[in-house]
């Protein structure tokens, strides 16, 4: 039996029954492409008092940039160092400079433009990824990003986490789903690729709420999505809540079931950049099963196979 016969999903050349980022980039650029995470220390309006203080209860002290470069280095040095490390694994790959830590459209527009355009000139750079919050997008920022998108393969990554405002409020997210839609709309109407981040396992969310978040994201016409597991990290407010028994960490089985349901509801042309994330090993309290990332990914593959299912199947029924 050939791969095509054994896998009914069109956009795959291996056992994956969903459109992976690796597959998409390989088809687009003709070779391996990997992200090089950078930290420009832009901070976050949810930490400095503009929108809130303390940040989201799950966010690490490094503003979710635990694997990014050292902000004490300029971005050219960060890129060189991180790329050299990653090139041990992928020697002949192209790179996407990834402005990862913090909110990377929070600041002066022209200063940000210069940083982004500098990154475009890095050796082997094939595009840009810029992570931010939707409430850090206004018309001026969106226009600047649209100009970048005319020059390169640009993706703006927006942290949504959940469509449910009750969850966002508990997590001290300090913006609503309506505010997310406003920032997203400014990017969408300018034709900018948007990747949305969601988190499974947030306190007090049940299976149906997590699936609803993914369904709504799929209906927005997004370019790609990152599906994350809630990592409970040391020295966060989330860790204190967990240690006090306020909520329970998600089990691997429940996580796999939710992700497969989300994949089934995702339009088949939406790139699924991640189906789980990385928590810094030395900081992770729970779920410890998440440290075996490839086991989790394999369980997702096996469950889709067991169901005889694939990305978008539920939309066609």
Stretches in the chain below the pLDDT threshold 50: 1-4, 65
Q: Please tell me whether the overall predicted TM-score, pTM, comes out greater than 0.85 for this model.
A: yes
Q: How many domains does the chain have?
A: 1
Domain range for 185:
3-312
Alpha helices, DSSP H, located in 121-274 = 139-149, 165-170, 177-188, 207-219, 237-243, 252-264
In this structure, how many other beta carbons lie within 10 angstroms of the beta carbon of residue 159?
22
CB 176 within 8 Å of CB 56: no
**Structure tokens that stand for 283 in this block:** 């900081």
Q: What is the pLDDT of residues 274-312, one digit of tens each?
A: 999 887 889 999 999 999 999 999 999 999 999 999 999
The reply to whether 205 falls in a domain is: yes
Distances (CA, A) of 295 to 103, 242, 255, 289: 31, 24, 12, 9
Only one residue has tokens 């969310």, namely 205
The reply to whether 317 falls in a domain is: no
Distances (CA, A) of 134 to 104, 114, 170, 281: 11, 21, 18, 29
CB 33 within 8 Å of CB 93: yes
The reply to whether 64 falls in a domain is: yes
The reply to whether 132 falls in a domain is: yes
In this structure, how many other beta carbons lie within 10 angstroms of the beta carbon of residue 245?
7
Where residue 125 sits, what CATH number does that domain have? 3.20.20.70
- Kindly report whether the peptide bond that precedes residue 287 is cis, defined as omega within 30 degrees of 0: yes
In this predicted structure, what is the pLDDT of residue 52?
82
């Amino acid at each position: 039996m050939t791969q095509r016969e054994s896998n009914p999903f069109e956009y795959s050349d291996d056992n994956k029954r969903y459109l992976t980022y690796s597959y998409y980039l390989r088809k687009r650029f003709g070779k391996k492409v990997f992200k090089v995470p950078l930290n420009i220390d832009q901070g976050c309006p949810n930490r400095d008092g503009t929108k809130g203080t303390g940040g989201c209860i799950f966010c690490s002290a490094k503003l979710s940039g635990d694997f990014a470069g050292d902000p004490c280095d300029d971005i050219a040095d960060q890129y060189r160092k991180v790329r050299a490390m990653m090139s041990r694994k992928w020697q002949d790959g192209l790179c996407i400079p990834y402005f990862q830590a913090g909110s990377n459209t929070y600041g002066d527009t022209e200063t940000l433009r210069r940083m982004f355009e500098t990154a475009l000139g890095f050796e082997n750079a094939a595009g840009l990824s810029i992570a931010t919050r939707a409430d850090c997008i206004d018309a001026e920022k969106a226009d600047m990003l649209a100009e970048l998108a005319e020059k390169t393969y640009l993706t703006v990554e927006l942290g949504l986490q959940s469509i449910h405002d009750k969850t966002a409020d508990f997590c001290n997210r300090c913006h609503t789903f309506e505010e997310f839609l406003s920032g997203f709309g400014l990017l969408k109407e300018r034709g900018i690729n948007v990747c949305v981040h969601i988190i499974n396992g947030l306190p007090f969310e049940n299976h149906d709420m997590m699936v609803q978040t993914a369904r709504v994201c799929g209906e927005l016409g997004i370019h790609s999505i990152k599906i994350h597991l809630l990592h409970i990290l040391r020295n966060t407010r989330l860790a204190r809540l967990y240690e006090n028994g306020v909520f329970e960490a998600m089990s691997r089985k429940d996580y796999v079931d939710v992700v497969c349901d989300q994949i089934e509801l995702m339009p088949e042309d939406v790139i699924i950049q991640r189906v789980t994330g990385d928590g810094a090993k030395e900081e992770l309290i729970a779920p410890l099963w998440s440290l075996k990332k490839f086991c989790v990914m394999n369980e997702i593959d096996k469950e889709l196979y067991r169901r005889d299912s694939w990305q978008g199947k539920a939309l066609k029924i």
